Chains A and B, each alone.
Chain A
């Protein structure tokens, strides 16, 4: 809460670079768990991917045993039966032949009640959908990577895609671990998660670029330090956006599915909620750290890094130096000389020779029009 309040006030209370290592470890473990579950347990594929038939029958007084007996009489004893919302019975069977499916449907209507929804899916449909989705995914990755590389830079494209892939693996992992059913709605949800994650990452990267562009030229800060400033400044926005994005999804989950009983909405909402949380996390911790690591390898930034570390080698500071607000502002408008001699918040960096800036804020611009 304290941290949140500080973030709200625009201070930089979080030392992001110190969190990168634990975050990366946690993500790695989570991704491995997700992949493990995916290979061992697999996914609980829904009707649309496996083929078969489903019937929703309105039968207020039916019990599962009754329905099972009826289905056995109709020659489909292997059917899965589920009571939904008091008066609906959901029946699933492997029957793929349209004629047989229609027979069972008539049987259910006669023996149980009106069939309000009916779905019959052939065996090849799922493969086709999966193929299309995989193609779309690959093309999506390529195009988006090119887009980020052009608009921002290629190292950010790498970071962004790793973050997106991480989010997808985690979301699919959640579905695998908890045995949620994969339906076309779930696929849509996964695609949305990719969108969210990417959107979030780009907003973060754009801030990083802005800060690096402003303060990078001074060569007084290492890349992770600049990144830290950018992340602290964009964190509140990330939190707010996650909250405003999560609210409609939560309402979909609660109002749409729990209170009013629309199963499609429920599955969709669960996947989205996971995606929103993971997406914000990955853009703040994963996408940024990866770019930081890649940038530190560049000659320029590694030189600056050695120089700055040399200066602070007496151990006055551990972890990431926080760039004070006045510093962040001071170097921004280089044209106006307003360095107050001897001023400036140099307390945290005792070894620095020339404090960057005084406490005098930029003069308010005159309103021109």
Chain B
């Protein structure tokens, strides 16, 4: 028993125990996919060809919306033609579907006030009547904006012709913007681009010509520049501010520094970082969602169905494992036990990896993944079978059990590597070339195959060699599922010669 082997053996055992312990200590748990814990998944397809940039923008907007739902691990990703939204474990499925599907409107709203205190008022009506909505109407109590329990207007009350209270995007300092009714929509915008002017990043805005465009804009701009009651001066500033609102959040709220603008010469400056300027101009350019999306594929799985599937998968896996254990131990005896330990080691490592991926990277374990792992059990056991059968064959060929152990392992391992590599190639291709469930399956099959190689090389091989050094092994080959003949070469030689003669 060379020292290296012993090191391998101890190393892998310690590693898998450590991995299991750390998984428990860190509280890593596999993240269950939609089909195992229930939830909503929608595949949206753009109604017209969309660029990658547009789809990326769509993804980040949907992510913002979904964040409010309290889903632990929302998966929102770009596909070739649209967006895939997967919300495992979401409680309010109806709301999730409507949030993802609707396309919100970009609105220009005058800023009436900016406060940090929450004014919680229920039974409210934010509607108003008259030519221009006067901010003073809110102060005097004529109009009361609808506000939810958190002090902001709820998404369903965020109506174009109502006063609303909204927060600034990406700002959690608790600032609240009391905003007047919408005066212009995103339709007015022709283009928006980040520009580097006067040593700072700004956003250049182009508007369309006409009423829904620069004319409409200038009408508001004039009032804000003057500090008209419909767009008052706030906090001692010289001009009123006009907020650009998207998806219930203020994107930016610049002061209006001129009474009239040319349609292609509007600059928004606000000490932006480059990323912020990019972000703002993307929002302005594309409005709510840069592309119109249509649900192509909707799946809703209730939590109970998901749990049932999970339970069925787990029970089936355990029963299968138990039967495999019975079979392998009754066939290979002590070598069978080695095979089971080897399986346990690759199982422990797989569990640790799955749990880690689930907790750290949000990679969900789906029913397809579970089946991939059940399938991998067969492949893992096979590595042992290949070696043990080789061992038996060598012993029958007249070698002693001990010498067979040393000789058979490299040959068997090379077979295992060849076959496992083919499996890995398959898994890799599936991962790269397919979508959805097949990918999950490929990932877990590939992982299990690699771990099988690891467990075979570092545990099963050295373990059998360790056993082979014992007297017990030489004296009782039957207990190891090996034929007796090879272990007693002298007698066999005698009988063989008689036959030959």
Contact = CB atoms under 8 A, between A and B. Distances in A.
Interface in A135-150: 135-136, 139-140, 143-144, 147-148
A12 to B, nearest CB: 11
A139 B422 contact: no
Interface string A175-186: 000000000110
Interface in B276-323: 294-302, 304-305, 308-309, 311-313, 315-317, 319-321, 323
A216 interface: no
B429 A140 contact: yes
Interface in A222-258: 233-234, 236-237, 240-241, 243-252, 255-257
Contact of A369 (B2, B399, B436): B2
Contact of B320 (A114, A132, A198, A251): A251
A37 interface: no
B11 to A, nearest CB: 20
Contact of A255 (B2, B300, B312, B382): B312
B438 A187 contact: yes
Contact of B426 (A194, A249, A325): A194
A202 interface: yes
A329 B493 CA distance: 13
B324 A114 contact: no
B371 A10 contact: no
B327 interface: yes
Contacts of B295: 98, 120, 122
Interface string B373-389: 01101110110011001
Contact of B299 (A119, A140, A185, A262): A119
Given A237-B385, A244-B378, A265-B313, A359 B499 contact: yes
A129 interface: yes
B137 to A, nearest CB: 39
Given A248-B321, A361-B397, A195 B411 contact: no
Contacts of B382: 199, 203, 237, 241, 244-245
A83 B496 CA distance: 67
Contacts of A246: 378
A9 B317 CA distance: 32
Nearest to A246: B378
A162 interface: no
Contact of A344 (B438, B489, B500): B500
Interface in A327-369: 328-329, 332, 340, 342-346, 358-365, 367, 369
B136 interface: no
Given A143-B425, A358-B497, A256 B438 contact: no
B331 A240 contact: yes
Given A117-B305, A188-B368, A210-B411, A359 B493 contact: yes
B362 interface: no
Interface residues of A, number: 95
A248 B435 contact: no
B400 interface: yes
Interface string B32-57: 00010000000101000000000000
A257 B312 contact: yes
A278 B140 CA distance: 82
Contacts of B312: 255-257, 260-262, 265
Contact of A120 (B298, B305, B422): B298
Given A326-B500, A358-B500, A261 B308 contact: yes
Nearest to B314: A256
A272 interface: yes
A328 B394 CA distance: 11
A115 interface: yes
A265 B366 CA distance: 12
Interface string A267-279: 0100010001000
A151 B418 contact: yes
A49 to B, nearest CB: 12
Contact of A195 (B317, B423, B434, B489): B423
A198 B425 CA distance: 11
A124 interface: yes
B400 A364 contact: yes
For B308, B378, B499, the residue with the greatest tally of chain A CB atoms inside 10 Å of its CB is B378
Given A240-B385, A245-B382, A264-B309, A360 B368 contact: no
B388 to A, nearest CB: 8
Contacts of A184: 368, 436-438
A248 B378 contact: yes
Given A124-B296, A143-B429, A187-B438, A251 B313 contact: no
B295 to A, nearest CB: 5
Nearest to B496: A359
A265 B316 contact: yes
B266 interface: no
Interface in A93-138: 98, 101-102, 114-122, 124-125, 128-129, 132-133, 135-136
A198 to B, nearest CB: 5
Contacts of B492: 361
Contact of B371 (A102, A234, A252, A260): A252
A80 interface: no
Contacts of A195: 422-423, 426-427, 445
B142 interface: no
A168 B328 CA distance: 29
A206 interface: yes
B297 A120 contact: yes
A98 B97 CA distance: 11
Given A116-B305, A119-B299, A359 B497 contact: yes
Contact of A118 (B298, B389, B411, B422): B298
Contact of B430 (A101, A121, A136): A136
Given A147-B421, A261-B308, A255 B315 contact: yes
Given A264-B367, A360-B493, A122 B315 contact: no
Contacts of A256: 312-313, 315-316
15 contacts: A10-B396, A56-B305, A119-B300, A124-B45, A124-B296, A135-B433, A136-B429, A202-B415, A203-B415, A210-B411, A256-B313, A260-B312, A264-B35, A359-B496, A361-B492
Interface of A: 9-10, 56, 98, 101-102, 114-122, 124-125, 128-129, 132-133, 135-136, 139-140, 143-144, 147-148, 151-152, 184-185, 187-188, 191-192, 194-196, 198-199, 202-203, 206-207, 210, 233-234, 236-237, 240-241, 243-252, 255-257, 260-262, 264-265, 268, 272, 276, 325-326, 328-329, 332, 340, 342-346, 358-365, 367, 369
Closest 7 CB pairs of A and B: A361-B398, A245-B378, A248-B320, A359-B496, A256-B316, A251-B320, A122-B296
Interface of B: 1-2, 35, 43, 45, 97, 101, 294-302, 304-305, 308-309, 311-313, 315-317, 319-321, 323-324, 327-328, 331, 367-368, 371-372, 374-375, 377-379, 381-382, 385-386, 389, 392-393, 396-400, 402-403, 411, 414-415, 418-423, 425-427, 429-430, 433-438, 441, 445, 483, 489, 492-493, 496-497, 499-501
